[in-house]
Amino acid sequence: METSTTQGNDLRLVDLEKEFQAPDGGMVTAVNKISLDVAPGEFVSLLGPSGCGKTTILRMVAGLEQPTRGEISIGGERVNELPPYKRNIGLVFQSYALFPHKTVFDNVAYSQTLRKRPKAETKASVEEMLSLVGLGHLADRSPAQLSGGQQQRVALARALVSDPRVLLFDEPLSNLDARLRVQVRAEIRRVHQRLRPTVIYVTHDQSEAMSLSDRIAVMSSGQVMQVGTPQDIYQRPDNRFVADFVGSANFFPARVLERKSDGLVVEFSGGTFNIGSWAPGSEQSDNVLLVIRQEHLEIVPESESSVHGIVRGSEFLGTHTECLIEVGGQTALATLDSSGGIELPTEGSKVGIRFQESRAHVIPNSPE
Ligand code: ATP
C-alpha cells in the first residue's frame, strides 16, 4: 500500500455552509462559513459539544450531504459535485456497520471486490491491513465473534484498504468502554504514524482530540472558535469558549495597567501581574479576563500572597483535593496535592491565592 504523502494530497474547506429545514419551517444553520486547510498526512480533529455541526461537516466532505454554499476540495480538486465513491475517502463511524454474515476478511475485502480488483492483490492488501490493526489471526471469524474494540479495528482496516486520500472518523470510540477506548485510540495513533493518511476526526471528547491530533478545530454553534495544536488550544486559548471547553479554567476579570512588548501588566483582586501570553484582541481593551487553569492555582497561607480568597468548599478525590474558593466575587477551583500532607483549609477560612505568571493567559472579556 502506498503512503498518502504525495504533494497536494490534502483537504480544503472554503466558506462552507449548511442550512437545514427546521421542523417549524424555518432554517437552521448547522455549519456557518467554515474554512479549514488540512495538510497532507495531517491529523485534524473537530472538537465541540453535541449539535455544533461536526458530523455535518464530515458528511459534506464524504459527499453524503450537499453544502448549501462553499467549496470542498480534496487533493487540489473541487469535489462538491462528485459522488461519495469518487472522492477517495475512507469512513469510520461510531457504529461499526460490518456485514454480520461475512467474515472479517470479506468485510475488509468488500469494497475491493466491488471494484473488481484482482483477487491476489485484494488478498494481499486485506491481509496487510488486518495485520496492521493486529487482527491477522481473526480473519475467518464473523463480526459477532469479536469484541467491540476488535470490530472497530475491522472497520478501520476496511477504511484503509482502499488507500484513501482522506480518512474520516466520526466518534469512532463512543461505543467502547473506557479501557477499550484507550486501546483503540493507541491503535489509531499507531496506524496514522505508519501510513500518514490525511485525517479528519470528529469527537466531543477533549482527551481523544488532545492525544491524537496534530491540530484541533474547536467548534461551537456551527463555527470554528480556534484552530491550533493541542498545546495552543490548552495553553493559549483565543476565547472563553475554548478555554472552558478544553480543561478546567478559572476566569478572573482584570484591568490592563500597562502594555509592554513582552506582556500585559494586569491588576486583579489587589495583585499586579505581568502576563506574557495573551489572545488576539485582549491588548485593545482595558478590561480582560485572566485565565488560570485549576491545576495552576495554588492555595497558600493568607500572609504569603496579596490576593486573597475565602474557602467555600473542598472535595477529597484520592489523588488530589479540589477546593472551591471565592476570589473577588468570583468562584474559582484550585487543586491541592493530597500527597504532601497539606492540611485542608476549612470552609469559610481566608487563604492566599498564588499562581506562576508564566502559566496564566489573558483573553478578551467578551461573551465568547
Ligand atoms: P453530535 O455530536 O450530537 O453528533 P454534531 O456536532 O455532530 O453533534 P450535527 O449532527 O452536525 O452536530 O448537527 C448540527 C445541527 O444541525 C444540529 O442543530 C442538528 O439538529 C442539525 N441537523 C443535523 N442534521 C439535520 C437534518 N438532516 N435536518 C435538520 N437539522 C439537522
Beta 249-260 vs 27-38: how paired, if at all? Answer: unpaired
User: Residue 10 in contact with residue 197, Cβ under 8 Å?
Assistant: no
Q: List pLDDT tens digits, range 11-31.
A: 999 999 999 998 888 999 999
Rounded Cα distance between 214 and 210, Å, is 8
- Confidence grade of residue 301 (pLDDT, cut at 50, 70, 90): confident
Rounded Cα distance between 79 and 82, Å, is 5
Rounded Cα distance between 360 and 368, Å, is 18
> Hey, whose CA ends up nearest to atom 9 of ligand 1?
53
- Spell out the domains of the chain, with CATH numbers in brackets: 11-235 (3.40.50.300), 248-364 (2.40.50.140)
pLDDT of residue 6: 39
Rounded Cα distance between 322 and 314, Å, is 6
Q: Which long-range contacts (CB under 8 A, 24 or more apart) does 340-345 make?
A: 344/314, 344/316, 345/299, 345/311, 345/314
Please give the backbone phi and psi of residue 18, each rounded to the nearest 5 degrees, phi first: -140, 125
Q: List pLDDT tens digits, range 336-360.
A: 866 555 567 789 999 998 999 999 9
Distance 167 CA to ligand 1 centre (A): 21
Distance 222 CA to ligand 1 centre (A): 9
**Does any ligand 1 atom lie closer than 6 A to the CB of residue 56?**
yes
**Does any ligand 1 atom lie closer than 6 A to the CB of residue 50?**
yes
Distance 27 CA to ligand 1 centre (A): 13
Q: What is the mean pLDDT of the chain?
A: 90
Q: List pLDDT tens digits, range 231-288.
A: 999 999 999 999 999 988 999 999 999 998 888 999 988 889 999 999 988 877 889 9
| Of the candidate ranges 32-46, 111-125, 224-238, the one whose mean pLDDT is the lowest | 111-125
Q: List pLDDT tens digits, range 66-110.
A: 999 999 999 999 999 999 989 999 999 888 789 999 999 999 999
| DSSP E strand stretches across 237-286 | 249-260, 263-268, 271-275
By CB neighbour count within 10 A (0-12 exposed, 13-18 middle, 19+ buried), where does 197 fall? buried
Distance 53 CA to ligand 1 centre (A): 6
Residue partners of 262: CB distance under 8 A and separation at least 6: 276
Beta 215-220 vs 43-47: how paired, if at all? Answer: parallel
> Hey, whose CA ends up nearest to atom 25 of ligand 1?
20
- Confidence grade of residue 299 (pLDDT, cut at 50, 70, 90): confident
Q: List pLDDT tens digits, range 159-185.
A: 999 889 999 999 999 888 888 889 889
**Does any ligand 1 atom lie closer than 6 A to the CB of residue 47?**
no
Residue with C-alpha cell 482584570?
Answer: 254
**Does any ligand 1 atom lie closer than 6 A to the CB of residue 93?**
no
Q: Which three cell numbers stand for residue 241?
A: 469558549
**Does any ligand 1 atom lie closer than 6 A to the CB of residue 226?**
no
Whole-model pTM?
0.89
